[in-house]
Amino acid sequence: MSFYIEKRILDVAPRTRLAVVELEGCEIGFGHASLDEMRLRVVGRIRDDIRGSANLKSVPQIAGFDQLRSFFDTDSRHGGSSYSEDLLRRILEGRPLPVENDAADARTLLSLFYKLPVLLVDANQIRGDVGLVVGQSSREFEVLQGHEPIHTEGRLFVRDELGYFGSPMAEGKRAVVTERSTSLLLIGIFPENVGDSIVKDFIRRGGNWLESLVGGQVAQEGMVGAAEAGE
């Protein structure tokens, strides 16, 4: 499995990067003993960093991602918030975090920790190369129950040879992670204003957190996109 960022994106935002971690041999359960402590640490960090939901748009990571999607989505200001921004708003408004399974809950915590969109999918359901792309046609992307479908044209998606399977706005129906998943693909989307050191930290932390919560081993990992000068 190889990874890429569509040229159309790099032409206007050449420092966009993906962080990818693939794990094999996972056993996904529910309510791992470490998760409560991890949630407390992450939530405490967020409340220390951000003083109220009114300040979310001034968070550098959120501003950077909003700028990235605004290059292609002319209606991005009215097109909803990213999944990560919605999670942060829940925390700052005192609402509970979603609880799914140990793998999905780790993804939620990583998205909160880095304040950026993080995707986690069943790698066994992915076919061919994986890329961050701009939606080309005006149709709807199916998401999990409880979320409105996303119009594809001008929106950012992650796709394989079968089509779009992931979105920064909501979790897609295809390749959703369940207790039957044994191989996982973790993808973080990093806009231009986030340094490579943070991308590398995400790769390390993402692999460590998932290995501790669902077992398995990292099969491949790395950064996709141009490294900073001197790297």
Q: What integer pLDDT is reported at residue 53 of this predicted model?
A: 86
The answer to whether residue 190 scores a pLDDT higher than 70 is yes
pTM: predicted TM-score of the whole model, two decimal places:
0.94
Per-domain residue ranges for the chain? Answer: 3-224
Question: Token digits for 60?
Answer: 């550098």
Q: Is the pLDDT of residue 76 over 90?
A: no
- Taking alpha carbons only, the member of 110, 106, 99, 118 closest to residue 171 is 118
Alpha helices in the chain (DSSP H): 7-12, 35-49, 60-70, 83-92, 102-114, 196-214
CATH class label, 3-224: alpha beta
Percent of the chain with pLDDT over 70: 95
Burial class (CB in 10 A: 0-12, 13-18, 19+), 228: exposed
Residue 79 pLDDT greater than 90, yes or no: no
